[in-house]
Chains A and B, each alone.
Chain A
Amino acid sequence: GENVEQHPSTLSVQEGDSAVIKCTYSDSASNYFPWYKQELGKRPQLIIDIRSNVGEKKDQRIAVTLNKTAKHFSLHITETQPEDSAVYFCAATPGGFNKFYFGSGTKLNVKP
């Protein structure tokens, strides 16, 4: 099955700086890569996703890049704000009748 590894496990940045979280996956059949944000005590919420037919996707301060050859994808948050503080999970799935494989999470702390 798929194996998704996520780094770093914790990340502390100053407000206004950028944050980058990286994930690698093992199954070349994976074709959909979502990122979820989970605030303390809340549900994971989808913030951005990318499919294997594109290399980059942006949504305001958030971007995701995908390198299919190297089997890694990254989340980039620019101009971080304290409300970006949360745990971020990456995931990969081959789609179809398959489960989502989640990374172990990155706890992002944005210091004001």
Chain B
Amino acid sequence: NAGVMQNPRHLVRRRGQEARLRCSPMKGHSHVYWYRQLPEEGLKFMVYLQKENIIDESGMPKERFSAEFPKEGPSILRIQQVVRGDSAAYFCASSPLSDSGANVLTFGAGSRLTVL
């Protein structure tokens, strides 16, 4: 089991460009979470998705940020027109969630975005 796979591990963008971060959940996991972490800070929830459905996007900025988890392929976090304040580590996590609540969260290695 390869675990939660994120790519790219490091991404450098200039202001105004687009950043796309990808996450493949663990095998058998159908739920994906995205968290943002600024240096020396905690994990800030962004969005929670299952296949073809956004369950909770209350932590996502209203503009420039979007996320999807298609039926086939990885989950993608997209940041348009990046600004310096978007520089952070973006962690994806997945869970084998059942609606009975027996969920355990496993994190990927993170994607570190640097905006110049």
B-binding residues in A (CB < 8 A):
1, 31-32, 34, 36, 42-46, 49, 89, 91, 93-105
List chain A residues, Cβ under 8 A from B100: 95-96
19 pairs, A vs B, C-beta closer than 8 Å: A34-B105, A36-B107, A43-B110, A46-B105, A91-B105, A94-B101, A95-B100, A95-B101, A96-B100, A97-B55, A97-B56, A97-B97, A99-B45, A99-B48, A100-B45, A100-B105, A102-B45, A104-B41, A104-B42
Chain A interface, DSSP helix/strand/loop, else mixed: loop
Q: A32-B103, A49-B104, A96-B97 are in contact. List 19 more A-B contacts (CB 8 A).
A: A32-B101, A34-B105, A43-B91, A43-B108, A43-B110, A44-B91, A45-B107, A89-B43, A95-B101, A95-B103, A96-B100, A99-B33, A99-B45, A100-B105, A101-B45, A102-B45, A105-B41, A105-B42, A105-B43
Rounded to whole Å, the gap between the CB of B18 and the closest CB of chain A is 25
Q: How many angstroms between the C-alpha atoms of A44 and B43 in the bound complex? A: 9
For residue A50, give the distance in angstroms from its CB to the closest CB of chain B. Answer: 12
Do residues B106 and A46 form an inter-chain contact, with CB atoms below 8 A?
yes
Number of B positions contacting A (CB below 8 A): 25
A contact residues around B83 at 8 Å (CB): none
7 smallest A-B Cβ distances: which pairs? A95-B101, A104-B42, A43-B107, A102-B43, A105-B42, A96-B101, A44-B107
